[in-house]
């Protein structure tokens, strides 16, 4: 029996933890998608910074088809060639010496938090368990990661939270210094806050966090689930900050749309995840790793990474031109192709209005809180799509402001 699929079916059969738009996209190519009615949209969202190479990139399709005809799944009782190839390439490209694969950013962060605690307890004793994170952070939806994330709206209402977690304001080094101690096992931060409003760290803050971690023998964990895999114009954002973490997490664009996450760390720290201490049924499966290897091969090239910074300037210039006409943004912030247009006082709290108006005009964008419109297009979005997307966004802005 065939089922007629409409947006109303979501309300009938799906748990209501999402509120999806009325349209249902059914096909994508590059930086364009088409809905059930055949209407075309320019995609400046990329599935929340996931489709870093756009939709149905031929090299990713080829990798998936090739691996799909060879081997789909093995338990971690055995290893597989795609996982080992991908791990070797990640080690070669980063500070890391050891890799752990999983299925999502939340799982990568869960692994990082567990490893940080295990390392600290093994090395220094049972007292060293404090985790410090930052307000307005976002680290995933498991109970541990959502408790570490600094947004109570995501963690309240589920009963007692995991303990010994402290939150301080982002970019406030004095606040961190006031709470960090020799009982701290880890400081967890995004090197560019995404969900919290597209906020970059100052150089002083980033380097100061590293210094305080060193002083108190705490691990520095960088959540690069959203900022990594070329998003800022470097393979990972830490490379542009000049600050090297002890543990790094990746997901989202790592698989180009195919679910995969990874935790990267050093040999000395990884040694504390002995056999049986952590695991994942699907983590490191051949399909995901084959696709991610293709993604890494494409993104980690001078041409693509330099192109990110060029595209950033085009989008910034376009948003500034729109703002000069409609006066709705206080600033455009972020780095690379993770940008946020911050709504000014006249439009504060209305980011979703801009998102919905953009859909009306044939453009997909995101929000980062109630007052920031977020742009996270494909890293290789064509310039013609940037121009067309900005033209459609201008129409959306005019629709919201009533011009």
C-beta atoms surrounding 340 within 10 Å: 29
Note the pLDDT of residue 1. Answer: 57
- Known binding-site residues for N(2)-acetyl-L-ornithine equal 141, 280
| Domain shared by 81 and 152, yes or no | yes
| Domain shared by 292 and 348, yes or no | no
Note the pLDDT of residue 386. Answer: 98
Q: Is residue 64 part of a domain?
A: no
SS3 91: helix
Q: Is residue 196 part of a domain?
A: yes
| Domain shared by 328 and 266, yes or no | no
Q: Is residue 63 part of a domain?
A: no
**Catalytic annotation present for 252:** yes
Cα separations (Å) of 364 from 14, 45, 307, 332, 398? 23, 6, 21, 18, 16
Cβ-Cβ contacts under 8 Å for 383 (sequence gap 6 or more): 311, 314
Contact criterion met (CB below 8 Å) for 217 and 15:
no
**Domain count for the chain:** 2
Contact criterion met (CB below 8 Å) for 145 and 104:
no
How far apart (Å, rounded) are the C-alpha atoms in residues 104 and 270? 19
Evaluated on CA atoms 53, 54, 57, 61, the torsion sign reads positive
Instruction: Pull the structure tokens for residue 115.
Output: 């490893």
Q: Is residue 330 part of a domain?
A: yes
Of the residues 43, 223, 246, 385, only one is catalytic, namely 223
Note the pLDDT of residue 379. Answer: 98
SS3 273: coil
C-beta atoms surrounding 105 within 10 Å: 28
Q: Is 166 exposed, middle or buried (0-12, 13-18, 19+ CB in 10 A)?
A: middle
Q: Is residue 129 part of a domain?
A: yes
| Domain shared by 234 and 349, yes or no | no
pTM: 0.96
DSSP letter string over 229-275? TTTTSSSSTHHHHT---SEEEE-GGGGTTS--EEEEE-HHHHTTS-T
Q: Is residue 293 part of a domain?
A: yes
Q: Is residue 343 part of a domain?
A: yes
Q: Is residue 1 part of a domain?
A: no
| Domain shared by 133 and 79, yes or no | yes
- Identify which of 133, 198, 138 has the alpha carbon closest to the alpha carbon of residue 168: 133
| Domain shared by 237 and 179, yes or no | yes
| Domain shared by 253 and 359, yes or no | no
Q: Output the domain CATH number for residue 49.
A: 3.90.1150.10
Of the residues 101, 205, 252, 385, only one is catalytic, namely 252
Which residues in the chain come in under a pLDDT of 50?
Answer: none
Residue corresponding to tokens 């190839």 = 85
| Domain shared by 108 and 213, yes or no | yes
> Where is the domain boundary, 277, 299, 321?
299
**Catalytic annotation present for 375:** no
Backbone Cα Rg of the chain: 21
Burial annotation 286-319 (CB, 10 A radius, 16+ → b, else e): bbbbbbbbbbbebbbeeebbebbeebbeebbebb
How far apart (Å, rounded) are the C-alpha atoms in residues 118 and 124? 10
Contact criterion met (CB below 8 Å) for 171 and 201:
yes
**Catalytic annotation present for 172:** no
| Domain shared by 170 and 95, yes or no | yes
Question: For 202, which DSSP code?
Answer: P
- Identify which of 200, 81, 86 has the alpha carbon closest to the alpha carbon of residue 134: 200
| Domain shared by 76 and 152, yes or no | yes
| Domain shared by 52 and 79, yes or no | no
Note the pLDDT of residue 151. Answer: 87
Of the residues 134, 138, 205, 222, only one is catalytic, namely 138
C-beta atoms surrounding 162 within 10 Å: 15
Q: Output the domain CATH number for residue 96.
A: 3.40.640.10
CA angle 385, 334, 331 (to 5 degrees): 90
CA angle 376, 377, 382 (to 5 degrees): 155
> Where is the domain boundary, 280, 299, 318?
299
> Where is the domain boundary, 259, 275, 299?
299
How far apart (Å, rounded) are the C-alpha atoms in residues 146 and 328? 32
How far apart (Å, rounded) are the C-alpha atoms in residues 257 and 43? 14
Note the pLDDT of residue 56. Answer: 98
| Domain shared by 277 and 255, yes or no | yes
Note the pLDDT of residue 403. Answer: 62
Domain encompassing residue 94: 71-299
């Amino acid at each position: 029996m065939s089922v007629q699929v409409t947006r109303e079916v979501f309300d009938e059969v799906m748990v209501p933890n999402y509120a999806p738009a009325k349209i249902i996209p059914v096909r994508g190519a590059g930086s364009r998608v088409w809905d059930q009615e055949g209407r075309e949209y320019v995609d400046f969202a990329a599935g929340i910074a996931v489709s870093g190479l756009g939709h149905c990139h031929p090299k990713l399709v080829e990798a998936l088809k090739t691996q799909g005809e060879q081997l789909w799944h093995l338990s971690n009782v055995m290893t597989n060639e795609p996982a080992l190839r991908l791990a070797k390439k990640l080690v070669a490209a980063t500070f890391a010496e050891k890799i752990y694969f999983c299925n999502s950013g939340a799982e990568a962060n869960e692994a990082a938090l567990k490893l940080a605690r295990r390392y600290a307890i093994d090395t220094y004793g049972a007292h060293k368990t404090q985790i410090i994170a930052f307000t307005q952070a976002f680290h995933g939806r498991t109970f541990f990661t959502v408790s570490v994330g600094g947004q109570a709206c995501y963690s309240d209402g589920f009963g007692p939270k995991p303990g010994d977690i402290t939150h301080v304001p982002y970019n406030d080094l004095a606040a961190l210094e006031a709470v960090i101690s020799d009982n701290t096992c880890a400081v967890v931060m995004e090197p560019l806050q995404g969900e919290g409003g597209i906020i970059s760290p100052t150089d002083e803050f980033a380097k100061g966090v590293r210094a305080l971690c060193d002083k108190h023998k705490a691990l520095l964990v960088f959540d690069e689930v959203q900022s990594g895999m070329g998003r800022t114009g470097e393979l990972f954002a830490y490379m542009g900050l000049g600050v090297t973490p002890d543990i790094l997490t990746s997901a989202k664009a790592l698989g180009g749309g195919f679910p995969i996450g990874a935790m990267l760390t050093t040999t000395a720290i990884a040694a504390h995840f002995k056999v049986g201490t952590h695991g994942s049924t699907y983590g490191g499966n051949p399909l995901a790793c084959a696709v991610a290897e293709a993604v890494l091969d494409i993104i980690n090239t001078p041409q693509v990474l330099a192109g990110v910074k060029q595209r950033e300037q085009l989008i910034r210039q376009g948003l500034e031109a729109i703002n000069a006409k409609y006066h709705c943004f206080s600033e455009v912030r972020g780095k690379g192709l993770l940008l946020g247009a911050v709504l000014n006082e006249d439009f504060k709290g209305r980011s979703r209005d801009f998102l919905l108006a953009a859909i009306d005009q044939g453009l997909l964008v995101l929000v980062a809180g109630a007052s920031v419109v977020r742009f996270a297009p494909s890293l290789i979005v064509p310039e013609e799509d940037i121009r067309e997307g900005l033209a459609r966004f201008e129409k959306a802005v005019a629709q919201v402001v009533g011009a």
